[in-house]
Amino acid sequence: MNILVTGANGQLGRHMRLLAPGSAHTWLFTDVEELDITSREAVTEFVKANDINIIANCAAYTNVDKAESDEATAMRINGDAVGYMAEALNDAGGTLIHFSTDYVFGGTMYNTPCSEDMEANPTGAYGRTKLAGEKAAERCHHLIFRTSWLYSEYGKNFLLTMLRLTAEKEQLSVVFDQVGTPTYAGDLARAVFRIIESGEYLKHEGIYNYANEGVCSWYDFTKEIARQAGQTTCKIMPCHSNEYPSPVKRPAYSVLDKTKFKETFQQEIPYWTEALSRCIANIKH
């Protein structure tokens, strides 16, 4: 079986690369240099030429603020490109594994963990384009994994930024009125890898939530990052979201309910502080 991973230089893609050598299947990794996913013709040709059975679409436009002024580009990557993959795989009888986000919520003020059947109501362009990608993925056999607050050892993410800032600054203010769950990209990649390797992707279809267990604010997340990294010189202060003006309103509460994932795939999900410790240990070593 041939598996294509798009966005292979990103956080999820990098972790998929680490897992692939343990697979019985053939994995192909592309990023924008190797495959322009915003070209229908390029996607169709690549799927045909390489006899692709599964696409794990790790590619995404993730700049939440910039998407407000460049929604067209975000839509081409997060929405249109997903449709091209789904169309190509539908013709080939394949499966699309697509990754979405808690940002599809926010317009409706939920105060309980968001399940897959709750109404998606995004507040900004990023969430709208990711929701469009979910709809596009449904054109073929698909599994969509919504996740939240993704971080890893790679690229640009909140963890790496806070490790740097708490080492450089004497004082730092971080919002405490946005609540969710940090998710280690390595855990999400491993969960999906198991589903692919076991063949369970063939038995199931639809949307599944996956984030690490537990709940915290960005302030709590930062405090735990500093504690685990042994950085004690920076005073971390809580602040309100409105103290950091943004072109988009971020979800105040976007905790994801993982019940469906756990019951369907019979996988345990690590608690967020334990996952964070593994990631920080990898960074240190």
Is residue 124 packed enough to be buried (19+ CB in 10 Å), middle (13-18) or exposed (0-12)?
A: buried
Distance of CA 111 to CAs 251, 265, 271, Å? 11, 26, 21
Q: Residue 143 pairs with which residues in a beta bridge?
A: 97, 206
Contacts of 106 (CB under 8 A, 6+ apart): 121, 122, 123, 124, 127, 249, 250, 251, 252, 254
d(CA 72, CA 130): 12
Contacts of 95 (CB under 8 A, 6+ apart): 53, 54, 55, 89, 140, 141, 142, 143, 201, 202
* pLDDT tens-place values along the chain, 285 residues long: 999 999 999 999 999 999 999 999 999 999 999 999 999 999 999 999 999 999 999 999 999 999 999 999 999 999 999 999 999 999 999 999 999 999 999 888 888 999 999 999 999 999 999 999 999 999 999 999 999 999 999 999 999 999 999 999 999 999 999 999 999 999 999 999 999 999 999 999 999 999 999 999 999 999 999 999 999 999 999 999 998 878 888 889 999 999 999 999 999 999 999 999 999 999 998
φ, ψ (nearest 5 deg) of residue 114? -80, 120
Give all domains of the chain, ordered by start, each with its CATH number.
2-156+182-215+254-270 (3.40.50.720)
Kindly provide the b/e burial profile for residues 9-30, where b requires at least 16 CB atoms within 10 angstroms of the residue's own CB. bbbbbbbbeebbeeeeeebbbb
Contacts of 164 (CB under 8 A, 6+ apart): none
**Looking at this protein, which amino acid is placed at residue 81?**
A
3-class DSSP state of 22: helix
Residues 61, 103, 126, 201: which is the catalytic one? 126
Tell me the CA end-to-end span of the chain in Å, nearest whole number: 34
151 noted as active-site residue: no
